[in-house]
A and B are shown apart, each in its own frame.
Chain A
Amino acid sequence: MLITKAFSVQPHASALPEVVWLPSQLTVDYTKCTGCRICELACSAKHEGLFQPSLARLKVIRYDDLGIDIPNVCGPCEEAPCVEVCPVYAMRRDPISKMVFLDHDKCILCKSCVGACVNGVIRLDTREMRIIKCDHCGGDPECAKVCPTGAIQYGPISSGTTFERHSKIASYLREIEHSAETQSSKGGS
């Protein structure tokens, strides 16, 4: 219930999620991605000091039957589900860059952010038991630098499409709320 409140986009809702203007973001052109996963390699090389795509802060999904490759990167999120969902305010926005960062000292490893991320790029490292999240390399993202085709870019964007993307998860959560309400009205506690 708490989660779904956070995503409610009804105009009368009092707790509207924070919407911010993003100075710079990672953007993706699906038509250019070849699925080479150099971005995953370079990301893990930079942040982990080894080559391990399972710990990369972004993820390319390959559809071999269709010939389509879709890179999933962190953002753009004018309203950030990971921030809204975090129960202990460990996930916050940097006041200047507006980039969402994780305060590891506060994180209680509840993994809510892992589930809430619309792009599926917040991950749990099960070996060191920590949440892994992209920080746009502090404003100079490695993935955009190594991408051979320019499919991943970094810079200022227009934000029209991202609201649409988030409305999907909002409607999904509304449905959960609706069914939860129906069930409880049927004779729950």
Chain B
Amino acid sequence: MATGGYTGRILRVQLDEGDFKVDKLPQEWIRDYIGGDGFAAKLLYEEVPAGCDPLSSHNKLIMSTGPITGTLWPMSGRTVFVSKAAQTGIWGESHVGGFIGPELKYAGYDMLVIEGQSDKPVYILIEDSNLQILDAGKFWGMKTDEVTAAIKREHADPDIQIAAVGPAGERKVRFSALIINNARAAGRTGMGAVLGAKNVKAIAIRGRGAVEVSDHEAFTELAKAAHMRVRTNPQAQEMGKWGTWILTAVKQEIGELPTYNHRTGVFPGWEKLSGDYIRPRYTVSDRACFGCSLACKKMNYVREGPFAGTLAEGPEYEGLMAFGSGLGIADYPTTLKANEICNQYGMDTISAGATIGFAFEAFENGLITTEDTGGLQLEWGDSQTVIQLLEMMGKREGFGDILAEGSRAAAERLGRGTEKYAIHVKGLEVSGQDGRTHRSIALGHATGARGADHLRSLVVVDQLGYEQVARERWGADKLPEIIDPYTEKHKAVAVVESENAYCIRDTLIVCWYSVSWPPIFWMQDFADMLPLATGEKSFGDVKNLTKIAERQVTLKRLFNAREGITRADDKLPKRFTHEPMPEGPGKGQTVDLEPMLDDYYRLRGWDLDTGLPTEKKIQSLSLGWTKKYASSH
């Protein structure tokens, strides 16, 4: 029985009726799913019918928090948005930092569920128990930073936290995002389009209540000690200085910096996209999300050149990759401007950059011409064209309207063999990794519930060679192969175990940084902390946490299976399996996916032929209830 951490309430916004409803959070959800992703998976499976159109009123947008959201635990200010994905039609989730998750908890709710569809533009105001659906006619068409400022002004409260839909979400751009605090994005899988389709411009939250944990004193002491572990970790300190830009140099060194639409893994102009180069020239301040000791977010200012005057946060490493190396652009201000446009229009940087990369490569190979692009010459390294295309995508103008569908759908529409340049898995564009030079991510990309995902199971231990960590986690007998990025051997073990730990991370919800990289907190740390926070003793057992994680992974898989996903969909773009890495340290490498998939299914207890969870596994994880919802309602 949980006694702390949770508020115990689920807030439902029923747009059809223009009404709110508060449900009790079921105790057995806590026991079986902990929170965050887990709660959302349970609710989405039960309530969103199989086969429904993600942009219809049947789909729901869930915002979920965890038991330690809003507490002193390091980096516990994150929240997750879950929905049937607008971009891929399967499981969709997008985590985001900033301050809105804790604010929802302080307002008194663990989850927010947005149902139905409004017939006119509205925004949702949640101010403790003051709940309103308000007219957003005057805000429609605004960029995310504009609507954020406008709502704060309207209610004369700078502390309101806002998740905003930009012009891209209004126009249902398939990879549109929800933007929080101007520059924090729930970016992937198209959450902006889901909310935009519901005619909701923004969610505005203000909470003045408290989060109470079960054993306040012990929890607070442990949390403070945890903060010190982060602050004294040398890699975490570097991370605070350079943010995720630190990765550019690392990835270049191991030949995994996606360049020219993932054609190669090394980029000659990488230095201009590295932290060493950017920080002294552009960064004006370090910023943090809620309760974070690291402060990996950077505010930057461009003093000269075509983008002079740009003052904006970002981009992350993924943005540097998406608009920098991925498009052959060795110019930081371009990536900052592109990132700013994505934030203002509300678009995912990874998918936006990759979709432009798809168009560039198809153009280079003559499969599309100026006739398709409306006269635009597409050329690697052309900053102005990238900026122009992003605006066109955000507004769905001309050629931008096709690209706004994402690379898979754009390739289907254009035909002519362009699909070979659409680098995606299950419709989601591949993030800034390359399975050829980092074998475990190949498996992660192929099996990720939302498509080519770098956040649910990315193993850094082999990528960056943490020998000691590998020995502790997986045993000396698996060395050296398990930390060798160029072999398939043992990689499923590392992926499954990382995925399990990250599942718990995503139920709490805490940040990637401090769990996934640098590897500071792992399962035992969560097992030590969770009983203090919640009073639920069973969370103190790593075996039980592992089972909860397995349950979550399998439930997401069952959600996708209901939408028709099988082993045949767990595949990679041919680029990774058939085109050897052309240069760099990993020259000649390709991915041999099938043996890793076999290992993965075996470890997960899924059928080797279909890739679906076996009956035995479903029963052992107490997921028998899913049968009731197995077909469409």
Contacts and interface: CB of A to CB of B under 8 A. Distances in A.
Given A50-B216, A54-B208, A66-B311, A146 B288 contact: no
B287 A38 contact: no
A146 B227 contact: yes
A72 B211 CA distance: 23
Interface in B4-61: none
Contact of A64 (B181, B227, B284, B290): B181
B313 to A, nearest CB: 6
B106 A36 contact: no
Top 8 closest pairs, chain A to chain B, by CB = A67-B299, A52-B210, A36-B288, A34-B295, A34-B288, A148-B293, A54-B208, A64-B182
A105 interface: no
B227 A44 contact: no
Interface string A1-37: 0000000000000000000000000000001001111
A28 to B, nearest CB: 15
Contacts of A35: 287-288
A58 interface: no
Contacts of B70: 51
B296 to A, nearest CB: 10
Interface residues of A, number: 29
A55 B207 CA distance: 12
A67 B285 contact: yes
A183 to B, nearest CB: 27
Interface of A: 31, 34-38, 41-42, 44-45, 48-55, 61-62, 64-69, 146, 148-149
Interface string B201-212: 000000111111
Contact of B295 (A44, A66, A149): A149
B291 A69 contact: no
Interface residues of B: mostly helix, strand, loop or mixed? loop
B422 interface: no
A4 B559 CA distance: 67
Given A65-B182, A66-B311, A67-B284, 6 more contacts: A34-B292, A37-B99, A50-B210, A54-B207, A64-B145, A149-B286
Nearest to A125: B208
A67 B212 contact: no
Contact of A51 (B99, B211, B286, B295): B211
Contacts of B295: 34, 36, 148-149
Contacts of A44: 210
B210 A51 contact: yes
Contacts of A53: 102, 106
A83 to B, nearest CB: 27
A42 B289 CA distance: 16
Contact of A49 (B102, B209, B216, B289): B216
B182 A148 contact: no
14 contacts: A37-B99, A37-B290, A38-B227, A51-B211, A51-B212, A52-B106, A52-B208, A54-B209, A64-B182, A65-B149, A69-B287, A146-B227, A148-B231, A148-B294
Contacts of A69: 285, 287
Contacts of A65: 145, 149, 182
Contacts of A36: 288-293, 295
A6 to B, nearest CB: 28
Interface in B292-327: 292-295, 299, 311, 313
A51 B213 contact: yes
A64 B183 contact: yes
A45 B71 CA distance: 9
A85 B275 CA distance: 51
A52 B293 contact: no
B106 A31 contact: no
Nearest to A63: B158
A41 B231 contact: no
Nearest to A54: B208
Nearest to A32: B286
B293 A38 contact: yes
Given A31-B285, A36-B293, A41-B291, A54 B106 contact: yes
Interface string B360-402: 0000000000000000000000000000000000000000000
Nearest to B298: A67
B285 A68 contact: yes
B72 interface: yes
B220 interface: yes
